[in-house]
Structure 1
Amino acid sequence: MKTVLMILMLVAGSAAAQSKYEAAVLKGKDLLKAADDQEAYMGCANYFERIAQKESKEWLPLYYHSLSLTLWGTRETNPGTKEKVLNDALALVQNAKKIEKNSELVALEGFVQMMRLTVDPATRGQTLSPTIYALFGEAIALDPENPRAVLLMGQMEFGTAQFFGSGFEKACGYIQRAYDIFEQTPDELTTLPTWGKGMAEASLAHCNQ
Protein backbone atom coordinates (compact mmCIF):
# COMPACT_ATOMS: atom_id res chain seq x y z
CA MET A 1 0.00 0.00 0.00
CA LYS A 2 2.82 2.39 0.89
CA THR A 3 4.48 1.58 -2.44
CA VAL A 4 1.30 2.42 -4.32
CA LEU A 5 0.93 5.71 -2.44
CA MET A 6 4.54 6.64 -3.15
CA ILE A 7 4.06 5.95 -6.88
CA LEU A 8 0.89 8.07 -6.94
CA MET A 9 2.68 10.90 -5.15
CA LEU A 10 5.56 10.76 -7.63
CA VAL A 11 3.17 10.80 -10.59
CA ALA A 12 1.21 13.70 -9.11
CA GLY A 13 4.42 15.61 -8.40
CA SER A 14 5.65 15.04 -11.94
CA ALA A 15 2.35 16.23 -13.41
CA ALA A 16 2.40 19.35 -11.24
CA ALA A 17 5.96 20.16 -12.29
CA GLN A 18 5.10 19.67 -15.96
CA SER A 19 2.02 21.85 -15.58
CA LYS A 20 4.14 24.59 -14.00
CA TYR A 21 6.54 24.43 -16.95
CA GLU A 22 3.70 24.50 -19.48
CA ALA A 23 2.09 27.44 -17.69
CA ALA A 24 5.39 29.33 -17.86
CA VAL A 25 5.75 28.69 -21.59
CA LEU A 26 2.13 29.69 -22.25
CA LYS A 27 2.66 32.92 -20.33
CA GLY A 28 5.76 33.60 -22.43
CA LYS A 29 3.80 32.97 -25.62
CA ASP A 30 1.24 35.55 -24.52
CA LEU A 31 4.03 38.06 -23.80
CA LEU A 32 5.54 37.41 -27.22
CA LYS A 33 2.19 37.75 -28.98
CA ALA A 34 1.65 41.14 -27.30
CA ALA A 35 5.19 42.42 -28.00
CA ASP A 36 5.33 45.28 -30.50
CA ASP A 37 8.72 46.92 -29.97
CA GLN A 38 12.34 45.96 -29.34
CA GLU A 39 12.12 46.46 -25.59
CA ALA A 40 9.22 44.04 -25.37
CA TYR A 41 10.95 41.46 -27.58
CA MET A 42 14.08 41.64 -25.44
CA GLY A 43 11.92 41.20 -22.35
CA CYS A 44 10.50 38.03 -23.92
CA ALA A 45 14.01 36.83 -24.76
CA ASN A 46 15.11 37.29 -21.14
CA TYR A 47 11.97 35.54 -19.90
CA PHE A 48 12.53 32.45 -22.04
CA GLU A 49 16.23 32.44 -21.21
CA ARG A 50 15.32 31.97 -17.55
CA ILE A 51 13.02 29.06 -18.39
CA ALA A 52 15.70 27.47 -20.58
CA GLN A 53 18.19 27.62 -17.72
CA LYS A 54 15.80 25.62 -15.53
CA GLU A 55 14.51 23.26 -18.25
CA SER A 56 17.73 22.33 -20.02
CA LYS A 57 16.23 19.22 -21.66
CA GLU A 58 13.35 21.10 -23.31
CA TRP A 59 13.64 22.59 -26.80
CA LEU A 60 10.74 25.03 -26.63
CA PRO A 61 12.33 27.62 -24.29
CA LEU A 62 15.37 27.78 -26.58
CA TYR A 63 13.06 28.04 -29.58
CA TYR A 64 11.11 30.97 -28.15
CA HIS A 65 14.27 32.65 -26.86
CA SER A 66 15.68 32.47 -30.39
CA LEU A 67 12.40 33.64 -31.96
CA SER A 68 12.25 36.62 -29.59
CA LEU A 69 15.75 37.71 -30.59
CA THR A 70 14.96 37.19 -34.28
CA LEU A 71 11.84 39.35 -34.07
CA TRP A 72 13.89 41.94 -32.18
CA GLY A 73 16.33 41.84 -35.08
CA THR A 74 13.57 42.67 -37.57
CA ARG A 75 13.32 46.11 -35.92
CA GLU A 76 17.06 46.83 -35.66
CA THR A 77 18.72 49.18 -38.15
CA ASN A 78 22.31 49.10 -36.88
CA PRO A 79 24.06 46.32 -38.88
CA GLY A 80 26.60 45.47 -36.18
CA THR A 81 24.01 45.21 -33.40
CA LYS A 82 21.63 43.28 -35.62
CA GLU A 83 24.37 40.82 -36.56
CA LYS A 84 25.29 40.16 -32.93
CA VAL A 85 21.71 39.51 -31.82
CA LEU A 86 20.97 37.26 -34.80
CA ASN A 87 24.15 35.27 -34.19
CA ASP A 88 22.91 34.67 -30.64
CA ALA A 89 19.52 33.59 -32.05
CA LEU A 90 21.24 31.19 -34.45
CA ALA A 91 23.28 29.58 -31.68
CA LEU A 92 20.14 29.08 -29.60
CA VAL A 93 18.14 27.35 -32.33
CA GLN A 94 21.09 25.15 -33.24
CA ASN A 95 21.41 24.13 -29.57
CA ALA A 96 17.69 23.33 -29.51
CA LYS A 97 18.15 21.04 -32.53
CA LYS A 98 20.58 18.98 -30.46
CA ILE A 99 17.69 18.22 -28.11
CA GLU A 100 15.12 17.49 -30.82
CA LYS A 101 15.13 18.06 -34.55
CA ASN A 102 11.76 18.99 -35.99
CA SER A 103 10.11 21.15 -38.64
CA GLU A 104 9.59 24.12 -36.33
CA LEU A 105 13.24 24.35 -35.35
CA VAL A 106 14.52 23.91 -38.90
CA ALA A 107 12.10 26.60 -40.13
CA LEU A 108 13.22 28.96 -37.36
CA GLU A 109 16.86 28.38 -38.26
CA GLY A 110 15.99 29.36 -41.82
CA PHE A 111 14.21 32.48 -40.50
CA VAL A 112 17.29 33.51 -38.52
CA GLN A 113 19.52 32.97 -41.54
CA MET A 114 17.11 34.94 -43.73
CA MET A 115 17.35 37.86 -41.32
CA ARG A 116 21.14 37.54 -41.29
CA LEU A 117 21.05 37.84 -45.07
CA THR A 118 19.22 41.18 -44.77
CA VAL A 119 22.21 42.65 -42.91
CA ASP A 120 24.10 42.72 -46.22
CA PRO A 121 22.03 41.24 -49.08
CA ALA A 122 24.42 42.15 -51.86
CA THR A 123 27.33 40.35 -50.21
CA ARG A 124 25.52 37.48 -48.52
CA GLY A 125 22.86 36.62 -51.05
CA GLN A 126 24.98 34.23 -53.08
CA THR A 127 26.36 32.34 -50.08
CA LEU A 128 23.38 32.34 -47.68
CA SER A 129 20.45 31.94 -50.09
CA PRO A 130 21.11 28.24 -50.87
CA THR A 131 21.35 27.52 -47.13
CA ILE A 132 18.08 29.31 -46.43
CA TYR A 133 16.20 27.59 -49.23
CA ALA A 134 17.56 24.22 -48.09
CA LEU A 135 16.43 24.82 -44.50
CA PHE A 136 12.90 25.86 -45.50
CA GLY A 137 12.72 22.93 -47.92
CA GLU A 138 13.77 20.54 -45.16
CA ALA A 139 11.25 22.05 -42.74
CA ILE A 140 8.44 21.57 -45.27
CA ALA A 141 9.59 18.01 -45.98
CA LEU A 142 9.52 17.23 -42.24
CA ASP A 143 5.98 18.63 -41.96
CA PRO A 144 4.20 19.82 -45.13
CA GLU A 145 1.39 21.19 -42.94
CA ASN A 146 3.67 23.50 -40.93
CA PRO A 147 2.34 26.93 -41.97
CA ARG A 148 5.40 28.76 -40.64
CA ALA A 149 7.75 26.73 -42.84
CA VAL A 150 5.56 27.32 -45.91
CA LEU A 151 5.12 31.05 -45.13
CA LEU A 152 8.83 31.66 -44.61
CA MET A 153 9.63 29.90 -47.87
CA GLY A 154 7.13 32.20 -49.56
CA GLN A 155 8.70 35.28 -47.98
CA MET A 156 12.14 34.15 -49.11
CA GLU A 157 10.83 33.64 -52.64
CA PHE A 158 9.17 37.06 -52.50
CA GLY A 159 12.41 38.76 -51.44
CA THR A 160 14.36 36.96 -54.16
CA ALA A 161 11.80 38.00 -56.78
CA GLN A 162 12.02 41.61 -55.61
CA PHE A 163 15.82 41.54 -55.75
CA PHE A 164 15.91 40.16 -59.31
CA GLY A 165 12.81 41.98 -60.56
CA SER A 166 11.00 38.75 -61.44
CA GLY A 167 7.41 37.63 -60.93
CA PHE A 168 5.82 36.81 -57.57
CA GLU A 169 3.67 33.85 -58.66
CA LYS A 170 5.78 31.20 -56.93
CA ALA A 171 6.17 33.25 -53.76
CA CYS A 172 2.47 34.04 -53.54
CA GLY A 173 1.62 30.39 -54.09
CA TYR A 174 3.52 29.49 -50.92
CA ILE A 175 2.02 32.41 -49.01
CA GLN A 176 -1.54 31.50 -50.05
CA ARG A 177 -0.89 27.89 -49.03
CA ALA A 178 0.41 29.02 -45.62
CA TYR A 179 -2.63 31.24 -45.09
CA ASP A 180 -4.96 28.36 -45.99
CA ILE A 181 -3.24 26.09 -43.46
CA PHE A 182 -3.61 28.75 -40.76
CA GLU A 183 -7.30 29.09 -41.61
CA GLN A 184 -7.81 25.33 -41.37
CA THR A 185 -5.94 24.99 -38.07
CA PRO A 186 -8.26 25.06 -35.04
CA ASP A 187 -7.37 27.40 -32.18
CA GLU A 188 -6.09 25.46 -29.22
CA LEU A 189 -4.13 26.08 -26.05
CA THR A 190 -0.69 24.63 -26.70
CA THR A 191 2.93 25.31 -25.84
CA LEU A 192 3.89 24.50 -29.43
CA PRO A 193 4.44 27.34 -31.94
CA THR A 194 1.27 28.89 -33.35
CA TRP A 195 2.55 32.29 -34.54
CA GLY A 196 2.53 33.55 -38.10
CA LYS A 197 -1.06 34.07 -39.19
CA GLY A 198 -0.77 37.85 -39.02
CA MET A 199 2.43 37.68 -41.07
CA ALA A 200 0.67 35.50 -43.62
CA GLU A 201 -2.21 37.97 -43.91
CA ALA A 202 0.20 40.90 -44.39
CA SER A 203 2.21 38.98 -46.99
CA LEU A 204 -0.95 37.92 -48.81
CA ALA A 205 -2.05 41.56 -48.96
CA HIS A 206 1.16 42.35 -50.90
CA CYS A 207 0.37 39.51 -53.29
CA ASN A 208 -3.11 40.87 -53.92
CA GLN A 209 -1.97 44.42 -54.71
Structure 2
Amino acid sequence: MKKVLLILSFICFAFTVNAQTKFEKGMQKAFKLVEEGKSAAAANLFERISEAAPKEWLPSYYAAQLNIMNGFAIKDKSKLTQQLDKAQKQLDHATSISPNNPEIMVMQAMLYTVWVAFDGATYGMKYGAKVAEIYAKAYAIDKNNPRVLLCKNEWDMGSARYFGKDTAPYCEAFNTALEKFETFKPESALHPSWGKDRVEYLIAECKK
Protein backbone atom coordinates (compact mmCIF):
# COMPACT_ATOMS: atom_id res chain seq x y z
CA MET A 1 0.00 0.00 0.00
CA LYS A 2 1.42 3.36 -0.99
CA LYS A 3 1.87 6.01 1.64
CA VAL A 4 -1.10 8.30 2.14
CA LEU A 5 -0.14 11.88 2.80
CA LEU A 6 -2.50 14.59 3.91
CA ILE A 7 -1.64 18.25 3.72
CA LEU A 8 -2.67 19.89 6.95
CA SER A 9 -4.45 23.18 6.44
CA PHE A 10 -4.80 25.21 9.60
CA ILE A 11 -6.73 28.47 9.56
CA CYS A 12 -5.60 31.62 11.30
CA PHE A 13 -8.35 32.43 13.77
CA ALA A 14 -9.56 35.99 14.07
CA PHE A 15 -10.71 36.31 17.65
CA THR A 16 -10.82 39.69 19.29
CA VAL A 17 -8.68 39.83 22.41
CA ASN A 18 -11.57 40.71 24.66
CA ALA A 19 -13.76 37.94 23.28
CA GLN A 20 -11.21 35.20 23.76
CA THR A 21 -11.54 32.72 26.56
CA LYS A 22 -8.44 31.18 28.11
CA PHE A 23 -9.18 28.02 26.15
CA GLU A 24 -9.43 29.90 22.85
CA LYS A 25 -6.22 31.80 23.53
CA GLY A 26 -4.38 28.56 24.18
CA MET A 27 -5.76 26.94 21.05
CA GLN A 28 -4.88 29.97 18.95
CA LYS A 29 -1.32 29.88 20.30
CA ALA A 30 -1.05 26.20 19.39
CA PHE A 31 -2.32 26.81 15.86
CA LYS A 32 0.23 29.59 15.51
CA LEU A 33 2.98 27.13 16.39
CA VAL A 34 1.71 24.81 13.66
CA GLU A 35 1.82 27.65 11.14
CA GLU A 36 5.42 28.32 12.19
CA GLY A 37 6.34 24.71 11.52
CA LYS A 38 6.79 23.88 15.21
CA SER A 39 4.59 20.80 15.21
CA ALA A 40 6.20 19.09 18.21
CA ALA A 41 5.78 22.19 20.36
CA ALA A 42 2.21 22.57 19.10
CA ALA A 43 1.36 18.96 19.95
CA ASN A 44 2.75 19.42 23.45
CA LEU A 45 0.73 22.60 23.92
CA PHE A 46 -2.46 20.93 22.69
CA GLU A 47 -1.84 18.18 25.23
CA ARG A 48 -1.42 20.70 28.05
CA ILE A 49 -4.62 22.45 26.97
CA SER A 50 -6.39 19.09 27.06
CA GLU A 51 -5.24 18.55 30.65
CA ALA A 52 -6.52 22.01 31.59
CA ALA A 53 -9.83 21.53 29.73
CA PRO A 54 -10.68 17.84 30.28
CA LYS A 55 -14.16 18.15 28.79
CA GLU A 56 -12.92 19.44 25.42
CA TRP A 57 -12.09 16.86 22.74
CA LEU A 58 -10.44 19.24 20.27
CA PRO A 59 -7.03 19.63 21.99
CA SER A 60 -6.50 15.86 22.15
CA TYR A 61 -7.70 15.53 18.57
CA TYR A 62 -5.19 18.07 17.27
CA ALA A 63 -2.36 16.67 19.40
CA ALA A 64 -3.08 13.23 17.97
CA GLN A 65 -3.31 14.61 14.44
CA LEU A 66 0.13 16.17 14.63
CA ASN A 67 1.68 13.06 16.13
CA ILE A 68 0.03 10.88 13.50
CA MET A 69 1.03 13.03 10.54
CA ASN A 70 4.60 13.30 11.77
CA GLY A 71 4.61 9.52 12.03
CA PHE A 72 4.67 9.18 8.25
CA ALA A 73 8.26 10.47 8.25
CA ILE A 74 9.56 8.13 10.98
CA LYS A 75 11.55 5.15 9.72
CA ASP A 76 12.55 3.61 13.05
CA LYS A 77 9.97 1.17 14.39
CA SER A 78 10.63 1.83 18.08
CA LYS A 79 10.31 5.58 17.58
CA LEU A 80 7.18 5.14 15.50
CA THR A 81 5.65 2.88 18.14
CA GLN A 82 6.30 5.49 20.80
CA GLN A 83 4.86 8.24 18.61
CA LEU A 84 1.70 6.37 17.70
CA ASP A 85 1.15 5.04 21.21
CA LYS A 86 1.04 8.65 22.35
CA ALA A 87 -1.37 9.54 19.55
CA GLN A 88 -3.58 6.56 20.42
CA LYS A 89 -3.91 7.70 24.03
CA GLN A 90 -4.87 11.15 22.78
CA LEU A 91 -7.48 9.70 20.43
CA ASP A 92 -8.84 7.50 23.22
CA HIS A 93 -9.24 10.58 25.39
CA ALA A 94 -10.96 12.54 22.60
CA THR A 95 -13.28 9.59 21.92
CA SER A 96 -14.20 9.29 25.59
CA ILE A 97 -15.45 12.87 25.43
CA SER A 98 -17.04 12.71 21.98
CA PRO A 99 -17.88 9.11 21.00
CA ASN A 100 -18.91 8.21 17.45
CA ASN A 101 -17.34 11.41 16.17
CA PRO A 102 -16.47 11.11 12.44
CA GLU A 103 -13.60 13.60 12.78
CA ILE A 104 -11.95 11.46 15.45
CA MET A 105 -12.68 8.32 13.45
CA VAL A 106 -10.78 9.75 10.50
CA MET A 107 -7.76 10.28 12.75
CA GLN A 108 -8.01 6.73 14.08
CA ALA A 109 -8.02 5.40 10.53
CA MET A 110 -5.06 7.62 9.71
CA LEU A 111 -3.12 6.21 12.67
CA TYR A 112 -3.54 2.69 11.31
CA THR A 113 -2.64 3.98 7.84
CA VAL A 114 0.73 5.16 9.16
CA TRP A 115 1.50 1.56 10.13
CA VAL A 116 0.42 0.30 6.71
CA ALA A 117 2.60 2.93 5.03
CA PHE A 118 5.50 1.97 7.29
CA ASP A 119 5.34 -1.72 6.41
CA GLY A 120 2.51 -2.83 4.15
CA ALA A 121 3.56 -6.47 4.13
CA THR A 122 3.38 -6.67 7.91
CA TYR A 123 0.55 -4.28 8.75
CA GLY A 124 -1.62 -4.29 5.63
CA MET A 125 -3.43 -7.47 6.65
CA LYS A 126 -3.55 -6.41 10.30
CA TYR A 127 -4.99 -2.94 9.86
CA GLY A 128 -6.36 -2.73 6.32
CA ALA A 129 -9.78 -4.10 7.19
CA LYS A 130 -9.93 -1.93 10.32
CA VAL A 131 -9.28 1.21 8.30
CA ALA A 132 -12.01 0.34 5.80
CA GLU A 133 -14.42 -0.46 8.63
CA ILE A 134 -13.74 2.83 10.42
CA TYR A 135 -14.27 4.87 7.26
CA ALA A 136 -17.48 2.97 6.49
CA LYS A 137 -18.79 3.71 9.98
CA ALA A 138 -17.81 7.39 9.78
CA TYR A 139 -19.49 7.66 6.38
CA ALA A 140 -22.67 6.08 7.74
CA ILE A 141 -22.74 8.68 10.51
CA ASP A 142 -22.04 11.71 8.31
CA LYS A 143 -22.04 11.32 4.52
CA ASN A 144 -21.51 15.05 4.08
CA ASN A 145 -18.33 15.42 6.11
CA PRO A 146 -15.70 16.35 3.51
CA ARG A 147 -12.79 14.87 5.48
CA VAL A 148 -14.61 11.54 5.72
CA LEU A 149 -15.23 11.60 1.96
CA LEU A 150 -11.65 12.63 1.18
CA CYS A 151 -9.89 10.12 3.42
CA LYS A 152 -12.26 7.22 2.76
CA ASN A 153 -11.94 7.72 -0.97
CA GLU A 154 -8.16 8.09 -0.87
CA TRP A 155 -7.88 4.86 1.10
CA ASP A 156 -10.25 3.06 -1.27
CA MET A 157 -8.34 4.41 -4.25
CA GLY A 158 -5.03 3.25 -2.80
CA SER A 159 -6.50 -0.20 -2.20
CA ALA A 160 -7.83 -0.37 -5.75
CA ARG A 161 -4.45 0.66 -7.13
CA TYR A 162 -2.68 -1.92 -4.96
CA PHE A 163 -4.88 -4.70 -6.33
CA GLY A 164 -4.63 -3.46 -9.92
CA LYS A 165 -8.20 -2.21 -10.20
CA ASP A 166 -9.53 0.82 -12.09
CA THR A 167 -9.12 4.03 -10.08
CA ALA A 168 -11.23 6.29 -12.33
CA PRO A 169 -14.37 6.10 -10.15
CA TYR A 170 -12.37 7.37 -7.19
CA CYS A 171 -11.15 10.36 -9.15
CA GLU A 172 -14.77 11.34 -9.74
CA ALA A 173 -15.53 10.92 -6.03
CA PHE A 174 -12.86 13.49 -5.19
CA ASN A 175 -14.94 16.05 -7.10
CA THR A 176 -17.86 15.28 -4.80
CA ALA A 177 -15.59 15.73 -1.79
CA LEU A 178 -14.46 19.11 -3.12
CA GLU A 179 -18.09 20.20 -3.45
CA LYS A 180 -18.62 19.30 0.21
CA PHE A 181 -15.54 21.32 1.20
CA GLU A 182 -16.98 24.33 -0.63
CA THR A 183 -20.17 24.27 1.44
CA PHE A 184 -18.91 22.82 4.71
CA LYS A 185 -19.22 25.05 7.78
CA PRO A 186 -17.31 23.96 10.89
CA GLU A 187 -19.19 24.01 14.17
CA SER A 188 -16.81 26.73 15.34
CA ALA A 189 -13.57 28.38 14.27
CA LEU A 190 -11.72 25.82 16.37
CA HIS A 191 -13.27 22.75 14.77
CA PRO A 192 -11.52 20.78 11.99
CA SER A 193 -11.62 22.39 8.56
CA TRP A 194 -8.52 20.89 6.93
CA GLY A 195 -8.38 18.85 3.74
CA LYS A 196 -9.41 21.09 0.86
CA ASP A 197 -5.83 21.53 -0.35
CA ARG A 198 -5.37 17.78 -0.35
CA VAL A 199 -8.49 17.01 -2.39
CA GLU A 200 -7.57 19.72 -4.91
CA TYR A 201 -4.13 18.15 -5.26
CA LEU A 202 -5.63 14.69 -5.80
CA ILE A 203 -8.04 16.02 -8.42
CA ALA A 204 -5.12 17.59 -10.26
CA GLU A 205 -3.20 14.31 -10.06
CA CYS A 206 -6.19 12.46 -11.50
CA LYS A 207 -6.17 14.74 -14.54
CA LYS A 208 -2.56 13.91 -15.44
What does 1:54-93 align with in structure 2 at a 5 Å threshold?
54-93=52-91
The alpha-carbon deviation at position 192 of structure 1 amounts to 0.5
Task: Name the aligned partner's letter for residue 26 of structure 1.
Answer: Q
Superposed displacement of residue 99, structure 1? 0.9
- What is the total number of aligned residue pairs between the two structures? 190
- The aligned amino acid for 2:143 is P
Following the alignment from structure 2 to structure 1, what is the Cα–Cα distance between the partners of residues 125 and 138? Answer: 21
Q: 1:109 matched to which residue of 2?
A: 108
Task: Say if 1:147 and 1:178, in contact at 8 Å, map to a contact too.
Answer: yes
What residue in structure 2 maps to residue 20 of structure 1? Answer: 22
Q: Greater CA deviation, 108-117 or 171-180? A: 171-180
Query: In 1, Cα distance between the equivalents of 2:36 and 2:177?
Result: 23
* Higher RCO (CA 8 Å, separation ≥ 6 residues): 2
Task: Write the letter of the residue equivalent to 2:202.
Answer: S
Deviations 1:166-194 (A, max 9, x none): 22124323322222211223589611111
CA distance in 2: counterparts of 1:202 and 1:104, whole angstroms: 21
Q: CA RMSD of the aligned region, Å?
A: 2.3
Q: Distance in 1 between matches of 2:196 and 2:145?
A: 12
> Gaps spanning 5+ residues in structure 1: where?
1-15
Q: In 1, are the aligned partners of 2:74 and 2:80 still within 8 Å (CA)?
A: yes
1:6 corresponds to which residue?
none
Distance 1:177 1:202 in 2: 14
Q: Going by fraction, where is helix more abundant, 1 or 2? A: 1
Question: Would you say 1:183 and 2:182 are equivalent positions?
Answer: yes
**Structure 1 residue 55: deviation in Å?**
0.9
After TM superposition, the score normalised by the length of structure 1 is 0.81
Give the match for residue 129 of structure 1: 128
Match of residue 144 from structure 1: 143
* In structure 2, C-alpha distance between the alignment counterparts of 1:57 and 1:186, rounded to whole Å: 23
Alpha-carbon distance between aligned partners in 2 of 1:174 and 1:79, rounded to the nearest angstrom: 34
Question: Shift of residue 76 of structure 1?
Answer: 2.3
The superposition leaves residues 65-91 of structure 1 with CA deviations (integer Å, 9 ceiling, x where unpaired) of: 000101111222333322321222122
Superimposed CA distance per residue, residues 118-143 of structure 1 (whole angstroms, 9 cap, x where no aligned partner): 12111221221111011111112221
CA contact (8 A) 2:64 2:88 kept: yes
Of residues 19-28 and 182-191 in structure 1, the stretch that sits farther from structure 2 once superposed is 182-191
TM-score, normalisation: structure 2: 0.81
CA distance in 1, matches of 2:71, 2:53: 25
Secondary structure of the corresponding residue to residue 165 of structure 2 = coil
2:145 and 2:184 in contact (8 A); partners too: no
Greater CA drift, 130-139 or 164-173: 164-173
Structure number with greater Rg is 1
Percent same amino acid at aligned positions? 28
SS in 2 for 1:118: helix
Q: Is the 8 A contact 2:72 2:117 kept in 1?
A: no
Matches within 5 A, 1:3-42: 19-32=21-34, 34=35, 36=37, 40-42=38-40
Cα separation, 2, equivalents of 1:136 and 1:172 = 18
